[in-house]
Amino acid sequence: MDEGTTAAAAGAGAGAGGGIALDTVARFVDIAVDALAQAREEIDALNVYPVPDGDTGTNMYLTVVAARDAIRDAQADPSAERGAILTGLARGALLGARGNSGVILSEMLGAVVRRIAAATREEHNATVIADALRQASIASYAAVGEPVEGTMLTVLRAAADAAAVRADKPGARSSDVLADAAAAAREALGHTPEQLAVLAQAGVVDAGGRGLSVILDAAETVLTGRRPIPVTAPLGSHAIPVPHVATAGADLCEDGPAYEVMYLLDAPDDVAPGLRARLGELGDSVVVVGGDGLWNVHVHTDDVGAAIEAALEDGRPHRIRVTHFAEQIARQEAQKAPAETPAQPALPALAGRTVVAVAAGPGLAVLFEEAGAVVVPGGPGRRPSTGELLEAITACGAKEVVVLPNDEPTVRAALAAASTAEADHGARGLRVAVIPTHAQVQGLAALAVHEPGRAFDQDVTEMTATARHVRHGAVTIAARQAMTMAGPCEPGDALGVIAGDFAVVGDELGSVALVVLDRLLAAGGELVTLVGGVDSGELADRATAWVEEFHPHVDVVVYDGGQERYPLLMSVE
């Protein structure tokens, strides 16, 4: 179905009641993903506020990708009801939100779909959309500890105001409302440097506002059938400038907090105001969004431990991510391409299928290479950049590439590299799939079922399913005092990791490893894989003996991975 046909179908009865079709919502998310994929690098380049870490476009893109995947999964269930599908989209955005801009965007999307889900047949769709944008604006301002004008908050408010004005006019259609909202967003975006000095100093519009404008253009496209304004074209009379200061980088953030801390929080629905206040005393860029017992928390701070402990009185923080801004900015500076590059020779034709795998140690690298993968060195402390992954994808010469990040923080870089590779080489037929493996052992399991003779989509599906069914854990030594999910730890304590969370604190690595194994095997299993790291000693032998004694029908495979920080990696299949 082409865009014009889709627009006609979606717009039928747009001025009357009947509700906004789920297919329309799903198509909007698809178009938004494609538009952000094209605009991602431009938005990243505009990113100087609140921290010039150059990832706003990537974060917004990944947040909408998570929403898209969630609604697809929900629609795949034939018994799923409309409300559950829309709730799935909102929850997917919440769980997949990345960075300050992504967390705020997840709250905006959640407010919009909640209003759409609550619409009655008697309501005009134009009114519903206008009210959804209004509620999204209110919710996003409320979610931010100290709202700042000249940001994506300002851009959305302008869009919501314009939508309300149009919806009040007789005969207004939903397509008219979105067209006016998108135009108002573009206009407001052009004025953001007048509201925020750091933008004027860098010569850019707000990155988050630009991303939101791209998303509203996508929404307009769904209902009008008109193609969105090209992401590289001027926005009305306001051209999108390119940063003209030498790295708006460290100079603009040297006095600010050193770390970005994010985590999910299982807690009651009345905790948000108090948590925002406590985090506001520890740093800035505080955002707490969510509800129904699950919150996504974001803060920029110098005290990582205190930012996590601030949530402990309310509930259980998990999936904790900490980013050191100075290191992130330095990596991005190192990745910048030179202004001029020599002419490139004609590129050879692409052929075949290759797996690109991130390996955390020399032994693991050998295992992946022996299985036919192209290896990119990585792991905690030396995770590969988007540029390194992009080079591996494009240099292998394959027409079909499967990427195994094998580390949760690396998944984001892999997705960005994959979208860039397909954008740059799509005309040559390049297809790239990222399997979100969060552990080295998941990557090993996925690669074990890789079959180049299968159709690409089938191969990716089989590898993904295998990786998802792997229960994984590890042991390590605490480097500093901290509060973990298993309680407080001191430097030198043995820590057990299960599915990415610190789940066991003990005095000795061997005993902690056995506790982790016992929990991994609690649901059964046929194969245990053990990967010894640097200075692993007899950990693998001890774990093997324990499995043979208490689970004699389970096979054990042992490898020398040579990874640092984690003396033993474990998995159960």
**With contact defined as beta carbons under 8 Å apart, do 570 and 517 qualify?**
yes
Amino acid identity of residue 161, one-letter, is D
DSSP, collapsed to helix, strand or coil, labels residue 281 as: helix
246 has pLDDT over 80: no
Q: State the number of CA atoms in the 13 A half-sphere of 462 facing the CB.
A: 13
How confident is the model at residue 326, as a pLDDT?
Answer: 59
Residue with more model confidence, 478 or 4: 478
Q: Is the pTM value of this prediction over 0.85? A: no
The strand order across the sheet containing 259-266 reads 283-291, 294-301, 259-266, 316-324
pLDDT tens for each residue of 34-56: 888 888 888 888 877 766 656 78
Q: Which domains does the chain have, with CATH numbers?
A: 3-229 (1.25.40.340), 256-324 (3.30.70), 349-468 (3.40.50.10440), 471-572 (3.30.1180.10)
Q: Within 10 A of 513 (CB to CB), how many other CB atoms are there?
A: 27
How confident is the model at residue 251, as a pLDDT?
Answer: 41
Residue with more model confidence, 304 or 342: 304
281 has pLDDT over 80: yes
Mean pLDDT for 385-414 is: 88
Is residue 115 packed enough to be buried (19+ CB in 10 Å), middle (13-18) or exposed (0-12)? buried
d(CA 133, CA 118): 14
Mean pLDDT for 226-237 is: 44
How confident is the model at residue 245, as a pLDDT?
Answer: 34
pLDDT tens for each residue of 441-468: 999 999 999 998 888 888 998 999 899 9
Mean pLDDT of the chain: 83
7 has pLDDT over 80: no
Is residue 470 packed enough to be buried (19+ CB in 10 Å), middle (13-18) or exposed (0-12)? buried
How confident is the model at residue 307, as a pLDDT?
Answer: 82
DSSP, collapsed to helix, strand or coil, labels residue 76 as: coil
Residue with more model confidence, 140 or 10: 140
Q: Which two tokens stand for residue 430?
A: 């390049």
Residue with more model confidence, 337 or 282: 282
5 has pLDDT over 60: no
How confident is the model at residue 463, as a pLDDT?
Answer: 92
DSSP, collapsed to helix, strand or coil, labels residue 438 as: coil
494 has pLDDT over 70: yes
Most confident option among 327-341, 372-386, 519-533: 519-533
Among 415, 417, 404, 416, smallest CA distance to 378 is for: 404
pLDDT tens for each residue of 519-555: 999 989 999 999 999 888 899 999 999 999 999 999 9
Identify the helix (H) or strand (E) that includes residue 92: helix 82-96
How confident is the model at residue 330, as a pLDDT?
Answer: 55
DSSP H helices in 433-565: 440-448, 456-468, 509-520, 539-550
Mean pLDDT for 483-490 is: 89
Percentage of the chain beyond pLDDT 70 is: 86
Residue with more model confidence, 567 or 306: 567
CA dihedral 382, 435, 91, 69 (to 10 degrees): 140
* Residue environment code for 299-330, b if the CB has 16+ CB neighbours within 10 A, otherwise e: bbbebbebbbbbbeebbebeebeebebeebbe
Tokens 């969630």 locate to 70
How confident is the model at residue 533, as a pLDDT?
Answer: 93
Q: State the number of CA atoms in the 13 A half-sphere of 216 facing the CB.
A: 37
303 has pLDDT over 90: no
DSSP string for 404-421: E--SHHHHHHHHHHHHHH
Mean pLDDT for 9-17 is: 36
| Low-confidence winner among 162-171, 216-225, 240-249, 329-338 (lowest mean pLDDT) | 240-249
How confident is the model at residue 58, as a pLDDT?
Answer: 84
